């Protein structure tokens, strides 16, 4: 009987733990390249080399691109093409926060998540399919926009546009936390 009581008491705890884990979404870790359709990825890989001539050294600067680098590179820089297989998936994505809206406690509740620091602040911004609009009702205190974060939530495809940037993806965040290596 002494063995039966602990077993009976642990059974409800085990059942509750199993129910809780079944109810919690499992987030698929993504990196930014995963959000690029293959044709955009290949086009961005074909970027022409940057020329560091002209300017203060005299003479007119050589354009960054030439007609021979026409593998869709220009189009990929402004592409809103998405990977539809991720639409509706629970994902985890690291990146940097570009704040858009704050709550009364000065927590960021809406932001763009971008792949590198300074994106959307400096020109040019990343392609729209490399910008994710995030809503996080709970809000997150952001001490510095130089800190990377991880956003977990349901990814969807759809255009969001404002004065800052154009995003081709959205996440309704379930959680936002500092990125840790």
Domains of the chain and CATH, by start: 26-178 (2.40.50.870)
- The closest of 157, 147, 154 to 171, measured between CA atoms, is 154
Structure confidence at residue 53 (pLDDT): 62
Q: What DSSP character marks residue 68?
A: G
Region class of 158: left (phi > 0), else alpha (psi between -120 and 50), else beta: left
Is residue 8 scored above 50 in pLDDT? no
Q: What angle do CA 157, 172, 89 make, to 5 degrees?
A: 55
* pLDDT tens column, 71-88: 588 899 999 999 999 999
**Considering the chain, what is the average pLDDT of its residues?**
83
Confidence of residue 68 (pLDDT cuts 50, 70, 90): very low
pLDDT of residue 122: 65
Residue 114 phi, psi (nearest 5): -130, 160
Per residue in 87-135, pLDDT tens? 999 999 999 999 999 999 999 999 999 999 988 666 678 999 999 999 9
Per the CB < 8 A criterion, the answer to whether 96 and 149 are in contact is yes
At 72, list the tokens.
């869709």
pLDDT value at 70 more than 70: no
pLDDT of residue 119: 80
- Per-residue DSSP letter, 70: -
In this prediction, residue 176 carries a pLDDT of 98
Q: Is the pLDDT of residue 64 over 80?
A: no
- List phi, psi (to 5°) of 176: -140, 130
What is the SS3 assignment for 141?
coil
């Amino acid at each position: 009987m002494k063995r039966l009581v602990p077993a009976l008491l642990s059974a409800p705890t085990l059942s509750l733990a199993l129910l809780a884990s079944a109810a919690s979404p499992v987030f698929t870790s993504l990196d930014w390249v995963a959000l690029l359709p293959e044709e955009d990825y290949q086009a961005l890989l074909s970027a022409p080399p940057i020329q560091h001539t002209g300017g203060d050294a005299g003479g007119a600067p050589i354009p960054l691109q030439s007609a021979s680098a026409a593998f869709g590179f220009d189009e990929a820089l402004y592409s809103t093409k998405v990977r539809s297989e991720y639409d509706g998936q629970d994902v985890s994505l690291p990146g940097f926060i570009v704040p858009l809206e704050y709550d009364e406690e000065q927590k960021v509740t809406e932001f763009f998540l971008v792949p590198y620091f300074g994106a959307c602040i400096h020109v040019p911004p990343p392609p729209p399919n490399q910008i994710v609009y995030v809503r996080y009702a709970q809000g997150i205190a952001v001490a510095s926009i130089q800190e990377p974060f991880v956003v977990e939530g349901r990814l969807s495809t759809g255009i969001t546009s404002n004065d800052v940037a154009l995003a081709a993806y959205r996440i309704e965040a379930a959680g936002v936390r500092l990125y840790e290596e």
